[in-house]
Amino acid sequence: MSNKGAKNLFIYGSLFFFVILVLLTIDTMDQIDRKAPEITASVDAGKMVWHKYDCIGCHTILGNGSYFAPDMTKTAENKPKGYLKKFLMDPKAVNPGASMPKLGITSEEADNLIAFLEWIAKVDTNGWPPKPILAAAAGSGGKELSAGQRVYQSLGCSNCHIINGIGGTSGPDISRVGSKRDREWLFGHFKKPEAYVPNSAMPAVSASDADIEQLTDYMLSLK
């Protein structure tokens, strides 16, 4: 191939692929809004709060960002709203082990940010993040779950609490909670957390008394 041929191949070939990228971009722009819920004024304001505090300087969102702190794509799905609001405004007051500093996020900003996180959690991301294989398989390995364990799973308690290594770090590790608390405390706490732990960020458990009894039994077995 002559130098001129190589040069023309470079120029026209690159232009060809760039035109394809532009065409695909036009189509993608058309489809993006259909793969996500409507953007309300609150969602838009929340996105600006996300930018203002440079959240991406530590977190990732849609998997892109700084890899220093958890990904925020599904946070609104996994954590109670009341917890999120308290955490955003003063992280260490809610979770003493948290690395996140108190940034001065106001109550209104926190509400908008949560609206934004609720929006992003509903974006159709082609199935990302995938459900963890081994956690999804837990309990289906031939061992029957107890009634309390089933309540624990159905309420999504493990989004915030750890039992035997599995679960979230937003709330305390409850692997041995049965040796620390009695039945009365646990039952009452599930009904009204802030009456037992001042300024608790945990939401009251919304389930029947029978289910809460079974959940309490399960907690008492954790020793």
Partner 1 sequence: MKYQSQKLAQHFYTFAVVLFLVQVLVGVIAAAQFIWPDFFILNFNTIRTLHINALVVWLLVGLMGATYYVVPEESQSELWNLPLAKLQFWATVIATSAVIVGYIIQGLFPQANTLIFGTLALNEGREYIEAPRWADWLIAISVILFLIINFMTMFKSKKWTGIQGTLLAGLTFLALMYLPGMVYMKSMVKDQYWWWWVVHLWVEGAWEVIAGALLAFMLMKVTNAKREVLEKWMYLEVGLVLFTGILGTGHHYYWIGTPGYWLWIGGIFSSLEPIPLLMMVWDAFRTTREHRVVSNKLGLFYATAHAIFNFVGAGLWGVIHTLPQVNKWTHGTQLTTAHGHLAFYGAYVLLVMAMIYITLPLIRGAANFDTSRGYRSFWWLTISMVFIVLTITGAGMVQTYMERLMGLDYVAVKANYNLWFWIFRGIFGLGFLYGTWLFVLDFFKLGKEQAKA
Q: Site for partner 1 (CB under 8 A): which residue of 53, 185, 187, 196?
A: 53
User: Residue 136 or residue 197: which is nearer to partner 1 going by CB?
Assistant: 136
CB 114 to partner 1: min, Å:
14
Query: Judged by CB under 8 A, does residue 50 bind partner 1?
Result: yes
Residue spans of alpha helices (H) in the chain: 3-32, 41-52, 75-78, 81-89, 91-94, 107-121, 133-137, 147-154, 183-191, 193-196, 209-221
CB 164 to partner 1: min, Å:
11
User: Residue 102 or residue 180: which is nearer to partner 1 going by CB?
Assistant: 102
CA distance 115 to 44: 9
C-alpha neighbours within 13 Å on the C-beta side of residue 99? 6
CA distance 149 to 140: 12
CA distance 107 to 85: 8
Q: Site for partner 1 (CB under 8 A): which residue of 84, 90, 115, 116?
A: 116
User: Residue 14 or residue 209: which is nearer to partner 1 going by CB?
Assistant: 14
CA distance 78 to 44: 21
Kindly state the number of chain residues that form the binding site for partner 1, as judged by CB under 8 A. 74
User: Residue 103 or residue 204: which is nearer to partner 1 going by CB?
Assistant: 103
Query: Judged by CB under 8 A, does residue 182 bind partner 1?
Result: no
Query: Judged by CB under 8 A, does residue 134 bind partner 1?
Result: yes
Instruction: Decide: 101 and 58 in contact? Cβ < 8 Å.
Output: no
Interaction with partner 1 in 72-101: which residues (CB under 8 A)? 99, 101
